[in-house]
Chains A and B, each alone.
Chain A
Amino acid sequence: MASAPSTKDAVQWARHVSQALFFAFFVLLVVGTVCSFTAGWISIVEPLGGLQVLFANMANVNLRILLRVLSGIAIFTIVAILFGKAWCAWACPVGSVVELAEYAFSRAKLMGHARRKGRAVSSEPRLNKNVKHGVLGGVLGSAVLSRNPAWCSLCPIGTICRGTAAGGLIAAAETFIVGSVVASSLYERRAFCRFLCPVSSLLTFISKLNVFFKPVVKRDSCKECGLCERICPEGIPLHKEKDLAECTKCLLCYSKCPYGGVTFKALGQSGISKKALVPSIIALAFFIMVIPISNLYLAQKEVSLSVTPASFTIASGGNVTLTAFLSSDGVAVPDRDIVWWASEGLFDKSEGYVVRYMAPSTSENKTVKITASFYGDEEYKGATATIVGNVISFKQEPTTTSIVPQSFVVKPGGNVTLKVVVLPHGAPVELVEWRLEGPGFLSSDVNGSATYFAPKEVEEEVQVRISALFRGNARYLPSVGYAVGKVSLEVTAPPKPYELFGRYYALRFSRMAVKDGLIEGPVSVGNLSLVRIRGAEAVVFNLSMPDLGLAASEGVLRDLEVYASSVKGIVDGKPMELDGSKKVRISGNIEISDGEVLAAVLSCKSLDAKQLYLAGKYVGGQEPYVPAVVTAAEVALAKNYAMGAPESYGELVKKVMRLTSGQVEADSFSIVIPAGYHLNRSSKEYGYKAGLVLNSTRLTGENMTMYAIYYKITVQIARYVGPLGFYFIKATGEENVGSVVWHFWASWGIGGGYCHRVLDVEVHAVLFKLDKASFTDVRLISFSG
């Protein structure tokens, strides 16, 4: 007997450790584990929850739900058949809390059974234990009636575990449910567990199949004192009861019997009768079999996905139809989501078995990777197929576009026919887009001619500007040509080509080195005699053009041609002064210092400038600056472009927008220095007369800063290839359009099928700065008048 007390204590301590471990696992570590637990193919569902789901889905029960629930409750049920209601005393977190609370209550002499200590041994409990079977029926019945496992919402076992996932009021509600259960123990020992808990009821029924590990009373030692009944959490009168389905295997009777009259036997009271064993074995076998069967049935099947053609070669901008084939064991699987992805290029739709892939327009040969994916569903696992395609490019040819005639004069109400010439021959003229700036009306046809109809009445002479933009395609690069016209009240003869030279503008520099240069004069152009400067390459330092408000620290001009009325400077240490009256011819490498050229027209194939700076002209008054009108087509900004909120430029212009960008690219770039300018900020209308114009077919620049008082942006939004529409953004410096505009600038930028393409930009800039700028096909001319 010496070792007996320590064994008796040890089993109770073992039980408390088990309770603590399960409590920590269920309540503190993993949310909801008491209701379900999944690891790999093992899925455990608390049987009452599982049964409720079955009953709630009674109307539309199918094999899938049935197997899922049965395999879920299988492990729990097997344990219950083997060990009876051990769950209640060894694992249930509510049972553990209640047991701990009852210990505290009895120490505080609060327990009902403690107060009624003198009560007769045989006195009935105050509630009938069969109530819980009724509750179980109610729980399942209500699940059928309301199609809702509503008990799960209130179940103390579930809520004690969910409570940790919640906070605030919710945790308070959860605490209330668990608290009520604990408080019910004050009324009667284990009141909730014994009389109400439907899980306990369900376990009691399963426990009827339990034949192992049952308490056995040693008749010779038992004094029928009744302590076992009082100590038993389920209130089983062990000394007289035969049905032990309610036994939770807490071993308290074994531990507390003063006479050592209770033992536990693995094989029950009096050996195992066949009668009791058969249903038990059948049930065990059933639930053991359910697990692999349902896992086999519910397992996702393997599929294979292939794409035809397995590889392809198409031309740049071309398209190809791709077909996905999804099969499982050689049988096609229809009506699933096949999602497509391509490293470059687009699809007509992003999902489907058959899609059309559109290759990107590219100037170099490319390899594209195309992936079709099936993400998997209840029946099938996911699969992915990848194919590789080649996109072959045409070498794009550069083009030049010009309008004939380049300048014209018409009467009000008159018209003039213009023709566009795109070189090389064979470039599709129908890709030309005409545009008119100024009053009047322009009609164009696809054969490359357009007719300009001047307005019927004009108050004074009006300038118009017509541009022809050759859009380019996979074979030809885009280019642009311009024509300028005058709607004049006076009937004049057609102008001579260089009558445009109405004004001269100064070009100053600290040093200019011309390679393979030729300065000759006089050259007669129309009725003027001018000096012509030509050079294969000219490097200019500290360039400034006061009329344009333009300055650059360094510039490199290629294929330069300047017509000037006067050229001044120091050549080889000697002052030089040329004008159209003197005959001159200097050739070779020429270097001029402190030069000033009064130019009428300047053109060059390319201009690379550093620290380019363009500022508006200060005139004072309401709009103190006459801005430079900067226009461009197909603008793309990259690298940290940003449009700031309205701010002030110096002390002078209070409402300007600042636009900065690390990199800028634009086609058909031009700067117009207006001769006169007005802007109505409220109606967003403006007007100006063109003065000096710098045209360039393309600009690329770095680190741009621009302060502008007016923006006009035309944006095309397209989805994949089809255009959705045009949007016009007009703003003076007053509105904060930054957030509206910012992402439009990244032309063709944003993925996902939407393309924002900036077609046309007109900005009235009071300041325009570029750290580095490269212009192509530059032409600087002044308009007369």
Chain B
Amino acid sequence: MYGLNRRSFIASMTGLLASATLLTLIGIGRGKKIRPPGVLEEDEFVSSCIRCGKCVDVCPTGGIKLDYSDLYDLGTPVLEGYCAVYTQLVEPSQEKNVRFKRSRENAELCLRCVDACPTGALKRLPLKKIKISIPKNDEEKCTKCYVCVAICPFDAVSVGKDGWPSFDLEKCIGCKQCAVLCPPRSITHEPYGR
């Protein structure tokens, strides 16, 4: 019925081998990146993401961007900006976060990217399992102003040894709000090691 003659077979086999080789070579690359919330394992995420960019579209902070640094995950989302986590913390500020922490009364989780994901690459995880990134403090730049301590929505930053801010990675979800609000910009975030 389909007329699969010798010529067609060779042609399709050529297409199969060529595309399979090319795409496999592209696809086996892996790295560590700061992903939007709801990622348990990088590998699992990459294998489920269809690069549709829906999460970019719905993110109220504009923090999610498509990544173009590698070929293997071209067009997958990364969290370049910050994650509001709660809808009240879009565009965070010292006053806003401190006020929010005092009265969490109507706290509402944002996670619109998770709801938008059509393939479940971003999962609706319990809050304590969400790990986006790991904060690092550059002590050369840090002025010990403790704004990070005051604004952290998860109380994950405390005054540690010698007065440097210390991050409780159990509580920290890596939303990057401290980096955004840090006056001397001494806090940076690294991908979560998974």
Contact = CB atoms under 8 A, between A and B. Distances in A.
A65 interface: yes
B164 interface: no
Contact of A49 (B7, B66, B119): B119
A134 B68 contact: no
B15 A53 contact: no
A281 interface: no
Contacts of B9: 130
Contacts of A127: 11
Interface residues of A, number: 89
Contacts of A351: 127-128
A45 B15 contact: no
A138 B28 contact: no
B19 A135 contact: yes
Interface in B111-154: 116, 118-121, 123-128, 143-147, 149-150, 152
A724 interface: yes
A376 B72 contact: no
Interface string B14-50: 1111111111101110000000000000011011111
Interface in A142-161: 142-143, 145-155, 158-159, 161
A46 to B, nearest CB: 7
A536 B74 CA distance: 84
Nearest to A377: B124
A128 to B, nearest CB: 3
Contact of A43 (B4, B18, B118, B126): B118
Given A53-B119, A373-B107, A139 B23 contact: yes
A57 B48 CA distance: 7
A30 interface: yes
Contact of A142 (B19, B119, B183): B19
Given A148-B47, A152-B50, A753-B155, A341 B57 contact: no
Nearest to A162: B53
A349 B4 CA distance: 68
B61 interface: no
A487 B118 CA distance: 82
Interface string A702-743: 000000000000000101000011010000000000011001
A31 interface: yes
A162 B50 contact: no
A740 B144 contact: yes
Contacts, number: 264
A31 B53 contact: yes
Contact of A131 (B4, B12, B145, B147): B12
B169 interface: no
Interface in B169-193: 183
A162 B119 CA distance: 17
Contacts of B2: 243
A148 B71 CA distance: 12
A147 to B, nearest CB: 5
Interface string A368-400: 010101011110001000000000000000000
Interface stretch (A163-171, A229-237, A257-265, A609-617): A163-171
A69 interface: yes
Nearest to B4: A130
A57 B183 contact: no
B101 A145 contact: no
B104 interface: yes
A727 B123 CA distance: 43
A740 B145 contact: yes
A783 B24 CA distance: 89
Given A142-B19, A739-B183, A754 B150 contact: yes
Interface of A: 30-32, 34-38, 43-46, 49-50, 52-53, 56-57, 60, 64-65, 68-69, 72, 127-128, 130-135, 137-139, 141-143, 145-155, 158-159, 161-162, 165-166, 169-170, 173, 196, 198, 243, 336-337, 339, 341, 343, 350-351, 369, 371, 373, 375-378, 382, 717, 719, 724-725, 727, 739-740, 743, 750-754
13 contacts: A31-B54, A35-B50, A49-B119, A64-B120, A65-B48, A128-B12, A138-B19, A142-B20, A162-B51, A170-B68, A337-B128, A378-B124, A382-B109
Given A154-B26, A158-B52, 8 more contacts: A46-B52, A130-B12, A135-B15, A138-B22, A152-B49, A153-B51, A339-B127, A750-B98
